[in-house]
């Protein structure tokens, strides 16, 4: 289900460049800048659809999904997993949008499998079509997630993973900013999956920030978020989330003297020194950051 703490299908150190023929297996790692957004691709379709059916049976009659909606979900997931086109694949996007509108009226802690389905649909080559059509429904639901109230970890996890997969699928809009503003405390979550999803979301923001037409979050704010995420996850000894946050920092600061100066003022050198002492890929990416 969407509450699983399974990590992304991509290796943690996707940017590693280790030469297997080097003397003594010496690492020649260069983790930054990262040029491609990461995605969460693991999928258990039957479990997701089963959980949606369970919650659908508890919904009010007016907000219950029909079998047509379930068939639409099933087809959308298959197209997403195959990275095919939703439109060319014959998916009725309006029916899918209708299903989302109904499901978003359910109790909030019942909506996480819907976002898990959307996470996979975002892998389709034209998923931006769905984002455009369902934008109002998505923004309405995300806006209802108060940043001051506790949220079910399933909601945090699946919303963050969905929007992480959606990065680059459509033009940046208010939804991404809303996610960032309302989920900023996710780096302090006690759930590793949530921390990793937040760090990956920020990393993807950093990747897109190198293209002026795709900037998601203001560079100053993003620098602050990334430094906070790296610091919090280092303190909790969460190596994977720390690594992604640090790759995000190195990517964002690459060839940007202004943001480098800001990051130093915010404690970059102390943070990197601490990460370097932890060895392994954290030491490697720390060296990358300081040597840029």
Q: Give the tens place of pLDDT for each residue, 18-64.
A: 343 344 444 455 899 999 999 999 999 999 999 999 999 999 999 99
Counting residues of the chain whose pLDDT is more than 70, the rounded percentage is 85
Long-range contacts of 257-265 (CB under 8 A, 24+ apart): 258/219, 259/219, 259/220, 259/223, 260/292, 262/220, 262/223, 263/223, 263/227
pLDDT value, residue 18: 38
Q: Give the tens place of pLDDT for each residue, 1-18.
A: 444 444 444 444 444 443
pLDDT grade for 84, boundaries at 50, 70 and 90: very high
Q: How many CA atoms lie within 13 A of 116 on its CB side?
A: 27
The mean pLDDT value for 260-270 works out to: 95
Q: Is the pTM of this model over 0.75?
A: yes
pLDDT grade for 255, boundaries at 50, 70 and 90: very high
- Whole-angstrom distance, CA of residue 157 vs CA of residue 5: 8
The mean pLDDT value for 231-248 works out to: 95
Question: In the predicted model, what is the mean pLDDT of the chain?
Answer: 86
End-to-end CA distance of the chain: give it in Å, rounded.
41
Q: Give the tens place of pLDDT for each residue, 137-150.
A: 887 787 777 655 66
- Whole-angstrom distance, CA of residue 158 vs CA of residue 87: 24
Q: Give the tens place of pLDDT for each residue, 188-230.
A: 888 999 999 999 999 999 998 888 777 777 899 999 999 999 9
């Amino acid at each position: 289900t969407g509450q699983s703490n399974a990590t992304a299908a991509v290796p943690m150190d996707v940017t590693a460049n280790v030469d297997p023929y080097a003397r003594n297996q010496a690492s020649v790692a260069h983790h930054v800048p990262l040029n491609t957004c990461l995605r969460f691709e693991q999928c258990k379709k039957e479990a997701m659809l089963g959980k949606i059916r369970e919650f659908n049976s508890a919904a009010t009659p007016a907000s219950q999904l029909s079998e047509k909606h379930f068939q639409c979900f099933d087809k959308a997931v298959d197209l997403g997993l195959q990275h095919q086109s939703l439109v060319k694949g014959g998916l009725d996007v309006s029916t899918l949008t209708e299903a989302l509108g109904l499901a978003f009226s359910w109790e909030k802690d019942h909506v996480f499998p819907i976002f898990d389905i959307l996470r996979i649909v975002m892998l389709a080559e034209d998923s931006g079509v769905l984002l455009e059509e369902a934008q109002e429904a998505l923004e309405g639901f995300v806006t209802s997630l108060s940043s001051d109230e506790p949220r079910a970890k399933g909601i945090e996890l699946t919303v963050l993973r969905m929007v992480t997969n959606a990065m680059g699928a459509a033009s940046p809009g208010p939804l991404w900013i809303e996610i960032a503003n309302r989920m900023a405390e996710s780096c302090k979550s006690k759930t590793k999956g949530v921390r990793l999803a937040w760090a990956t979301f920020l990393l993807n923001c950093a990747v897109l920030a190198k293209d002026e037409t795709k900037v998601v979050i203001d560079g100053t704010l993003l620098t602050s978020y990334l430094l906070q995420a790296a610091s919090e996850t280092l303190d909790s000894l969460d190596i994977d989330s720390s690594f992604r946050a640090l790759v995000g920092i190195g990517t964002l600061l690459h060839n940007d003297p202004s943001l480098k100066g800001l990051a130093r003022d915010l404690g970059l050198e102390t943070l990197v020194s601490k990460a370097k002492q932890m060895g392994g890929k954290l030491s490697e990416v720390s060296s990358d950051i300081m040597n840029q």
